[in-house]
Amino acid sequence: MTINAAFPLALALAAGAAADCGPFFAVPVQIAAGPVLSTQIMAKDLDADGVNEILYASRASSGGTGVTVFRRGENGLHQSIQFLPLPSTAGAVQFLVEDVDHDGVLDLMLVEYDAESVRIHRGLGDGTFAPAPVSYAVGPTPTSLAFADLNGDGWEDLVVTNLSAGTISVLMGAGGGVLFPRATYSAGGATPVRIRMTDFNRDGRLDAVVALGNPATLAVLMGNGNGSFQAPRVAPSISPLSARDVVIADFNADGVPDAAFADGSEAFYIYTGRPTGHLVDPVLVRGLEFQTLSNIAAADFNADGLPDIVALTGTLLNPIRPLIYLNQGPPRFAEPLDFGGIGLMQVVAHLDLADMNGDGLTDVLFVDRFGQIGIMVTISGGPVQILTRPQNQTLAPGGTAQLSVESWGAGVQYRWFKDGQPLLTTARVTGVDSPTLTITDVQASDSAVYECRVSNACDAKAVHAFLSVVTTGPECPADFNADGFVDFFDLDAFIEAFDAGC
């Protein structure tokens, strides 16, 4: 496998990106290449070293059908460390990475389209998987899979969509990574292509959302809490095309999951979820004209509490590129942000969201049809978020004051001020440009309002705290009533002072 670009990436902003509190992204670059005819891509930390590996599925008649694992080396480059081959008849490959047997090591589960089975390759803990799989039968032409605990027994269960049968297969977990034989349920229509799990009515029982094709729509199967599902509740179809992808998130912040649905057109649809398990009121969100949307995903890129959409788009005349749709509140999404793309001209691509450079922000990992893997790094997640404010403090002389602030955001900087004037580092004062200001051997002159200004490339916020340095115990002059004389009339004041401990 060849590597075409180093990583980490230069933080070059795309042209036209204004400092309006983001999000900002680096221009996408290619970081690796795999076999042609991609079918899925995913980032997971397979060896628990804090750095995500890349898993890439492909199908090619020339021996390229299988899953490739890429690892980022010390020089920042991604190289293939394992290729798990599949029979050339396996067709499209979809996979999940989960700890199937609860041994603390991630395993690989994948569906073989033509073999009508799911293969489980045990993780070895070093970023690779055991070549010999354990296989379980599922329905005809499996296309997508989900892994979740459907009956609350502590073991996850496997749910697989069967394209040609219009069904889903449910394989209950028996413990230790073993699955029981499948049970079959109607998917609600023809050609189910994607499945996602959520809980619409917050009853603790997982429900299934299935993307159906021809015509494209969604079906909800409410879970019974024992691994079985109720009859499908099919959403109204407003697209004559075939389903491509679906993502579940609470887009309108009402506490009920909603669905974003891509049908291969230049737009996607937002369906509003109801606690009854119905998806209603589809709203069309347009993309770039004549650009076909394929895979979609959701994340809160600008930290405003609302999930945003990223969608891969491309045409026969344009390379694959991720578009960012910022959620402006129901049911509005902003015009898509376009930071460029990579790859050849095509309309089929795949994506995943993960922190690829360890900065705590969600990046976009994607691959074109011909195996060119790209990444669009998030370099600002939007406005500064203050998580913890400094607390007022009262200390005696000689004590130590610590004022701390905790924030979220990319590229955050800190600066402390005393009564509006910038603080300088001294023998007693440290951390003036850090989240925690420390003042040792405090004196009365340190009493002041302290301000921390927290900022990044697109936002700034200020937080305050008061430090009071006082002597211990009340003073007790003889003139207790402060009338200028020490006389009999001070008796009452003396008694009150005596009661106070003077």
Q: What is the pTM of this model?
A: 0.75
Up-side HSE of residue 46: CA atoms within 13 Å toward CB? 26
Q: Reduced to 3 states, what is the DSSP secondary structure of residue 496?
A: helix
CA of residue 197 relative to chain centroid, distance: 16
Q: Highest mean pLDDT: which of 5-19, 319-333, 410-424?
A: 410-424
Q: Which residue has the tokens 């979809």?
A: 94
Number of other residues whose CB lies within 10 A of the CB of residue 382: 25
Q: What is the pLDDT of residues 350-384, one digit of tens each?
A: 899 999 988 888 999 998 888 888 899 887 666 77
- Domains of the chain, with CATH numbers? 36-376 (2.130.10.10), 385-469 (2.60.40.10)
Residue 396 tokens read as 């005696």
Give the separation between CA 257 and CA 350, rounded to whole angstroms. Answer: 23
| Cβ contact 307:324 at 8 Å | no
pLDDT average, residue stretch 458-466? 89
pLDDT average, residue stretch 225-233? 97
In this predicted structure, the answer to whether residue 239 has a pLDDT above a threshold of 60 is yes
Better-predicted residue by pLDDT, 168 or 60: 168
What pLDDT shows up at residue 7? 35
| Cβ contact 448:423 at 8 Å | no
In this predicted structure, the answer to whether residue 164 has a pLDDT above a threshold of 80 is yes
| Angle made by CA atoms 287, 40, 173, in degrees to the nearest 5 | 120
pLDDT average, residue stretch 242-252? 92
pLDDT average, residue stretch 456-481? 76
pLDDT average, residue stretch 431-437? 97
Better-predicted residue by pLDDT, 439 or 319: 439
Classify residue 374 as exposed, middle or buried by CB count within 10 Å of its CB (0-12, 13-18, 19+): buried
In this predicted structure, the answer to whether residue 497 has a pLDDT above a threshold of 70 is no
Beta-sheet pairing, 459-469 with 393-395: parallel
If you average pLDDT over every residue of the chain, what do you get?
A: 86
Q: Reduced to 3 states, what is the DSSP secondary structure of residue 478?
A: coil
Give the separation between CA 120 and CA 130, rounded to whole angstroms. Answer: 9
Q: What is the pLDDT of residues 129-152, one digit of tens each?
A: 999 999 999 999 999 999 999 999
Q: What is the pLDDT of residues 36-52, one digit of tens each?
A: 888 899 999 999 999 99
Cis peptide before 28 (omega within 30 of 0): no
Q: What is the pLDDT of residues 286-329, one digit of tens each?
A: 877 777 888 899 999 887 889 999 998 877 667 788 999 989 88
What pLDDT shows up at residue 292? 80
